[in-house]
Amino acid sequence: MNLETFDLNLLRVFDAIYIERSISKAALRLNLTQPAVSNALARLRDRVGDPLFERTAEGMAPTPRAKTIAEPIQRALDLLREGLSSRSGFDFSSSTRTFEFALEDYGENVILPRFLKWLNLAAPGIRIVIRPEPGIQLRDELRQGAVDLALSYFVPGMTEFRNHCVMTDTLLSLARRDHPAIADRLTLDTFLTLGHAALIPRTKSTPMIDLALAKRGLQRHIAVQVPYFQSMPVIVQNTNLLCTMPKRMALLYADNFGLQHYLPPVRTPDFPVYLIWHQSANDDVAHRWLRESFIDLCKQL
């Protein structure tokens, strides 16, 4: 492939479709029209010599060739964005500072791997320590500087803490591909008949999928409860159980564990994911560089 005649904007289109698994959602992400995105995909298919994505009931499924090139394309785009940024005042390339994050497994699985790949190239001397999921001591740890940044579905609700909504997500359900009770789509009757693997409640709040069912006077059968999302795909892969989790995590597990993903049969609202820090770190140039880099990366997920 001759890079001198290759339109690099096609890589942005590929990345958006790979992330969204949808032409229309990729168009919204890129602020383009759907025909423009479709035309760009057609040009890229011609240059690469592969269809790259195939239309399915669940969206645009990547081909094996697309899965192979997705990571290097994402990495190249991340480096370009960082190289064109205007941040100054902190020599991140030679820094050996340590930052501590408090993350739930959503952040560990969906965001952290790609962030660390980028960080290893941009600032290889910086060290990241991951604390367990945000708990009741999180506010004190942020105040004391024991934790620099936290990722959570909820904000502390106090003015001394700053937050930024880094992304929103929705839900998908997962089942093994040869599930005997599911055909092309997951119906409400099947959803209610089958058993589910679900999270042990971490707070007093009710999971969104259960709230949506309760509004209709319905309830799913929870056959097993686990402490982390990452336990679910192994269980689902080896049983007839279902699980429901955030979309980005579900797509990741579906690819890695050979699972089929489905839209839940009841409508649920999108939910926010917040990056949280204490106001005392707001003007720390190194802290600002790290959190802004983190926020920029999340925009691409």
Which whole number is the average pLDDT over 50-68? 90
Distance separating alpha carbons of residues 150 and 39, to the nearest angstrom: 40
The full set of domains in the chain, from first to last, is 3-68 (1.10.10.10), 98-168+272-299 (3.40.190.10), 171-269 (3.40.190.10)
Which whole number is the average pLDDT over 110-116? 92
Question: What is the share, in percent, of the chain residues with pLDDT greater than 70?
Answer: 93
Distance separating alpha carbons of residues 129 and 133, to the nearest angstrom: 12
SS3 52: coil
Task: Look at residue 245 in the predicted model and tell me its pLDDT.
Answer: 96
| Cross-strand bridge partners of residue 101 | 130, 149
Does the structure show a pLDDT above 90 at 86?
Answer: no
Other Cβ atoms within 10 Å of 268 Cβ, number: 17
Task: Look at residue 131 in the predicted model and tell me its pLDDT.
Answer: 81
Task: Look at residue 232 in the predicted model and tell me its pLDDT.
Answer: 95
pTM beyond 0.85: no
- Residue 147: what are its φ and ψ, rounded to 5°? -125, 130
For 288, residues 6+ apart whose C-beta sits below 8 A from its C-beta are: 90, 282
Q: How far is CA 132 from the centre of its chain?
A: 18
Look at 85 and 117; give whichever has higher pLDDT.
Answer: 117
Look at 205 and 53; give whichever has higher pLDDT.
Answer: 53
Distances, alpha carbon 54 to alpha carbons 14, 51, 60, 173, 248, in Å: 13, 7, 5, 20, 19
pLDDT in tens, 256-282: 899 999 999 999 999 999 999 999 888
What is the pLDDT confidence band of residue 212, given thresholds at 50, 70 and 90? Answer: very high
Q: How far is CA 4 from the centre of its chain?
A: 33
Distance separating alpha carbons of residues 197 and 224, to the nearest angstrom: 5
Task: Look at residue 154 in the predicted model and tell me its pLDDT.
Answer: 84
Task: Look at residue 136 in the predicted model and tell me its pLDDT.
Answer: 67
For 132, residues 6+ apart whose C-beta sits below 8 A from its C-beta are: 102
Does the structure show a pLDDT above 80 at 299?
Answer: yes
